[in-house]
Chain A
């Protein structure tokens, strides 16, 4: 009997080892930044030896912009008995937590700007990473770029949770720094050109945060910046070639990799409750020399010393530090 039990235990152990881990990845919409996060997560796991199809199976969900589908995706994950959920962006994370909050399936959120404000904290099986950017640092940088800076225009979508928070933070930080923030609202990509144009003649610089809507239509903001010969700072390094004068922030692929590290820690046995929410670090600073020439802008020497990279004649050059 004991032999039989031992045999069964070994058999079960083998089958448990053989069954691949099921990871559900849900995102709100197809967007370059969010897709980069997903790839970052997968790459970290692959490099750690979790081969797709053998050790791990991914189930992808994409709400395609329909917020009410986010909950259906999470329910489908529950029905398919996933072992772990990765939720990218705020509403998908809220839906995932709503469905999995009474289970012991770990939920790892990613690209959530304000996890506390979104209600994602305080659950033992939930942890994740935040893509909060250094808004105050960006404004200080603009002060350095434009001596005597008094007014900065922000094009943003008031309907985007992450963007609304960052714009509020900019207004508050601006008060401390003696800068007036002039917001221009664009509730869809189609409304970005008008919103950007409306700032011309009223501000001395333009600022775009990690607003998904505005970054998707960045060319319209660049167009306004060129017309008004205004410096444009975008808190997204991938926007450099598209015409931002200065890019700060981090690569969303790196953010995905940070999320992947959290997933890896959980797979290796650390309970989610022992992993605090991680905030993205490692700010980059890119200067676009092509754009500077186009609008007749000269970078002060102090900025050049801080820069981590340059765009010149359409090519990127990383600066050694």
Chain B
């Protein structure tokens, strides 16, 4: 239980980032690497504002806004200036490294002992701290997920989904696919930055190096979720993303907890994390094969 709760907490908070990656990679079919920069951007903006005395909710919202601007920038580079999507994302990502350092004024800002958006909500609701955080994170993240589901069924949302499938067809219907890409990347990176803002408050610090590996974790979450649920439609697709994210974070905690028992050392962590994820993915196939042989 003591490991299960943190896995779900983190799965939900990082799940927002994974939802952003789902929007760019799956809905828009756009390989957006700006994520490695917009995740710490959210952390940097939120930490700077919280230290300046801002309300943590407002600080997190502004952080999301900053992520949207950065995402739109990648979109504009790619559509208006015809820069290849991968390069546009890389350019935004490396620019943000310097920008994040400027925002914070130094590479690391401590948030220890500062109010966090999630813990403030836990106190306001009068919940015990042990499982209150999971409840608040679940309400927030599932709420955002439901809003996304509704959005993707509106006219703009449907046009955005169609853009990823076939931009030429969308154009025939009088929708500008370039606008959809810019809007979609803004939405995606807004979610990623919000996730970064919450992770910084959850971890007790914002660090300019915390974006390393964000896209890897995000893609892993999206694909793991898809393999497990094989979702049809947006509603189950976003459920799958959150499930994948929780499983990925859970894998890290399981690897930490039981790795040494199995004789692995601390430096084997990444190998072990990948093996736990692989195990979870292959389990259904192995079980089916075993059953098939018995029959």
B265 contacts chain A at the CB level, 8 A cutoff: yes
B111: chain A residues at CB < 8 Å are: 119
Q: Which B residue's beta carbon lies closest to that of A69?
A: B252
Stretch among B57-65, B82-90, B148-156, B209-217 lining the A interface = B209-217
Q: How many residues of A contact B (CB 8 A)?
A: 40
A164: chain B residues at CB < 8 Å are: 106-107
A59-B260, A70-B203, A76-B256 as given contacts; A94 in contact with B112, CB under 8 Å: yes
A132 contacts chain B at the CB level, 8 A cutoff: no
Complex CA distance for A160 and B199, rounded to whole angstroms? 19
A72, A79, A118, A158: the one contacting B252 at CB < 8 Å is A72
On whether the beta carbons of B267 and A118 are closer than 8 Å, the reply is no
B6 contacts chain A at the CB level, 8 A cutoff: yes
A59: chain B residues at CB < 8 Å are: 260
The listed residue with most B CB atoms (<10 A of its CB), out of A71, A76, A78, is A76
Within 8 A of B (CB), among A96-131: 97-98, 101, 117-120, 122
Q: A85-98: contact bitstring with B at CB < 8 Å (1 yes, 0 no)?
A: 00000110011011
Would you give the shortest CB distance from A136 to chain B, in whole angstroms?
Answer: 20
Q: Which A residue's beta carbon lies closest to that of B256?
A: A76
A68 contacts chain B at the CB level, 8 A cutoff: yes
A68, A79, A117, A159: the one contacting B199 at CB < 8 Å is A68
Within 8 A of A (CB), among B17-57: none
A79-B3, A91-B108, A161-B108 as given contacts; A71 in contact with B265, CB under 8 Å: no
A61 contacts chain B at the CB level, 8 A cutoff: yes
Complex CA distance for A64 and B209, rounded to whole angstroms? 12
Q: Which B residue's beta carbon lies closest to that of A63?
A: B269
The number of inter-chain residue pairs (CB within 8 angstroms) is 110
B2: chain A residues at CB < 8 Å are: 78-79
Would you give the shortest CB distance from B38 to chain A, in whole angstroms?
Answer: 15
Complex CA distance for A91 and B101, rounded to whole angstroms? 16
On whether the beta carbons of B107 and A158 are closer than 8 Å, the reply is yes
Complex CA distance for A289 and B106, rounded to whole angstroms? 37
Within 8 A of A (CB), among B227-241: none
A64-B267, A158-B101, A165-B106 as given contacts; A72 in contact with B208, CB under 8 Å: no
Q: Which B residue's beta carbon lies closest to that of A118?
A: B110
On whether the beta carbons of B269 and A69 are closer than 8 Å, the reply is yes
B106: chain A residues at CB < 8 Å are: 117, 161, 164-165
A274 contacts chain B at the CB level, 8 A cutoff: no
Complex CA distance for A65 and B257, rounded to whole angstroms? 19
Residues of B within 8 A of A (CB): 2-3, 6, 10, 14, 97, 101, 106-108, 110-113, 199, 202-205, 207-210, 212-213, 217, 249, 252-253, 256-257, 260, 265-267, 269-270
List 21 A-B pairs, Cβ < 8 Å: A63-B269, A64-B267, A68-B203, A71-B204, A75-B253, A76-B256, A78-B2, A79-B2, A79-B6, A94-B108, A95-B205, A97-B112, A118-B108, A119-B110, A119-B111, A120-B110, A120-B112, A158-B101, A159-B107, A165-B106, A187-B97
